[in-house]
Structure 1
Amino acid sequence: MYACMQDKASWQQKVDDSVMVGPRLHGWGTFPLNGPNGMHPDSPLFHGTKDYEDVRQLVDHYANMPDEHQPTFLKTYNWIPPESYKALARYAKERGFKLSGHMPRTMTLADVIDAGQNSIAHARLFIFDCSSQQAELRSGQHWDTPLVDLYPMLIQAFEEDTCVSRYEQMAEKQVFLNPTLMTRRNDYYGVAGKFSDMLGTDYGHYLLAMEWEEDIAQHGTNISQEGIAAFRDFYHLSAATVAQASKHGVVLLAGTDSWSEYNVPGFSLHEELQAMSAAGIDNFTVLQAATINGAKYFGIDDRIGSITVGKVADLIMLDSNPILDISNTLDINTVFQGKVIYKAEHIEGLKCNPPRKK
Structure 2
Amino acid sequence: MKAFLIALAAAAAFQPIPAAAAKQAADLLIRHAVVIDVEGARPIPDQAVAIKGDRIVAVGGDAAVAKAWTAPRRIEAKGRYLIPGLWDMHVHFGGGPALAEENKALLPLYVAYGVTTVRDASGDLPNEVLHWRREIADGTLFGPTLLSSGPKIEGIKPVWKGTLETGSEADVDAAVDKLAGLGVDFVKITDSTLKPDLFLYAVRRVRAAGLRASGHIPMALTVGQAVDAGISSIEHLSYAYKAGVKDEAAIAADVAAGRITRAEAQARLDAGFDEATAMAAYRTLRDRQVFVTPTLNIERTLAFLDSDDHSKDPFLAYVGPGLRKTYQWRIDRAAKATPEQIEARHREYRQTAAVLPMLAKAGVTIMAGTDAGFLNSFDYPALGLHQELALYVENGLTPAQALSAATRAGPAWFGKLDRYGSVEAGKQADLVLLDRNPLEDIHATRSVDTVVLRGIAHDRAALDRLLAEARAKVARWDAGAVQ
Give the TM interval when normalised to the shorter protein.
Answer: 0.7 to 0.9
Contact 1:334 1:343 in 2 (8 A): yes
**Equivalent position amino acid for 1:36 in 2:** I
The CA deviation at 1:41 is 6.7
Counterpart position of 1:20: 141
**Equivalent position amino acid for 2:152 in 1:** P
- CA distance in 2 between counterparts of 1:324 and 1:331 reads 13
Cα distance, 1:110–1:41 mapped onto 2, change above 3 Å: closer
Counterpart position of 2:254: 139
Is 1:76 matched with 2:193?
no
From 206, 212, 221, the counterpart of 2:321: 206
Higher relative contact order (CA 8 A, sep 6+): 2
Q: Deviations over 1:137-182 (max 9, x none)?
A: 663334257xxxx977654332223211111110110101011112
**Equivalent position amino acid for 1:353 in 2:** R
From 311, 321, 341, the counterpart of 2:427: 311
Counterpart position of 2:347: 233
Counterpart position of 2:300: 185
The CA deviation at 1:192 is 2.9
The CA deviation at 1:128 is 3.1
**Equivalent position amino acid for 1:269 in 2:** L
Is 1:156 matched with 2:271?
yes
Counterpart position of 1:62: 179
**Equivalent position amino acid for 1:188 in 2:** A
- CA distance in 1 between counterparts of 2:134 and 2:471 reads 26
Moved more, 282-291 or 33-42: 33-42
Is 1:95 matched with 2:209?
yes
Cα distance, 1:237–1:267 mapped onto 2, change above 3 Å: same
Counterpart position of 1:8: 129
Runs (5+) with no aligned partner, structure 2: 1-93, 95-122, 479-483
Cα distance, 1:188–1:95 mapped onto 2, change above 3 Å: same
Cα distance, 1:142–1:184 mapped onto 2, change above 3 Å: farther
Contact 1:171 1:248 in 2 (8 A): yes
Q: Deviations over 1:237-272 (max 9, x none)?
A: 211112211110100111111112211110111111
TM-score by length of 1: 0.87
Alignment RMSD, CA only? 2.6
The CA deviation at 1:111 is 0.7
Moved more, 195-204 or 296-305: 195-204
Runs (5+) with no aligned partner, structure 1: none
**Equivalent position amino acid for 1:58 in 2:** A
- CA distance in 2 between counterparts of 1:242 and 1:197 reads 30
From 471, 474, 480, the counterpart of 1:353: 471
Moved more, 84-93 or 285-294: 84-93
The CA deviation at 1:220 is 1.6
Counterpart position of 1:294: 410
- Going by fraction, where is strand more abundant, 1 or 2? 2
**Equivalent position amino acid for 1:76 in 2:** I
The CA deviation at 1:86 is 2.6
State the identity %: 26
- CA distance in 2 between counterparts of 1:164 and 1:5 reads 37
Is 1:169 matched with 2:284?
yes
TM-score by length of 2: 0.66
Counterpart position of 2:364: 250
SS in 2 for 1:100: strand
**Equivalent position amino acid for 2:190 in 1:** Y
- CA distance in 2 between counterparts of 1:122 and 1:93 reads 21
